[in-house]
């Protein structure tokens, strides 16, 4: 059972190395986190086979040279994730499905209670 974000990161990193992945391919790499302006909630929802956790992402305004336009900055939204004991990370439901951290935490708690 996983109890902390540090354990999730360690298991994810170990799986990436086991699969022969490059450091930048790691789920929590600085480049990946920066690209999506990601933040990771420190609250973890352990279940027997792993743990649920929450990330938030915000798509920032970027310049698209081929169309000579800027995209609009998007609001920060939250995504519910699951890390299996193996270190594999999956999105639960839709990417950026929650408008608030509180809504994502409610969903994680519901799933945690459903796994008991």
Residues 57-104: tens digit of each pLDDT: 998 877 888 888 888 888 999 999 999 999 999 999 999 999 999 999
What pLDDT score was predicted for residue 73? 82
For the entire predicted model, the pTM comes to: 0.86
For 54, other C-beta atoms within 10 Å of its C-beta total 23
**Residues above pLDDT 70, as percent of the chain:** 96
Residues in the chain: 116
20-33 residue pLDDT tens: 776 556 788 888 88
Cα–Cα distance between 52 and 5 in angstroms, integer?
10
The structure tokens listed for 2 are: 């996983």
Q: Would strands 77-84 and 39-47 be described as parallel, antiparallel, or unpaired?
A: unpaired
Domain ranges of the chain: 5-114
DSSP 8-state secondary structure symbol assigned to residue 65 = T
DSSP assignment of 17-48 equals HHTT--GGGSTT-HHHHHHTT-EEEEEEEEET
The CA distance from 56 to 5, in Å, is 14
């Amino acid at each position: 059972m996983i109890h902390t974000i540090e354990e999730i990161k360690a298991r994810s990193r170990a799986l990436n190395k086991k699969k022969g992945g490059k450091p930048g391919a790691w789920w929590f790499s600085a480049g990946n986190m920066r690209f999506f302006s990601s933040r990771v909630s420190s609250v973890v929802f352990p279940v027997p086979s792993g743990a649920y956790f929450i990330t938030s992402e915000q798509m920032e305004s970027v310049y698209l040279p081929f169309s000579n336009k800027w995209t609009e900055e998007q609001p920060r939204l939250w995504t519910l994730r699951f890390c299996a004991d193996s270190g594999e990370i999956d999105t639960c439901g839709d990417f950026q499905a929650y408008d608030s951290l509180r809504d994502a935490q409610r969903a994680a708690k519901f799933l945690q209670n459903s796994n008991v």
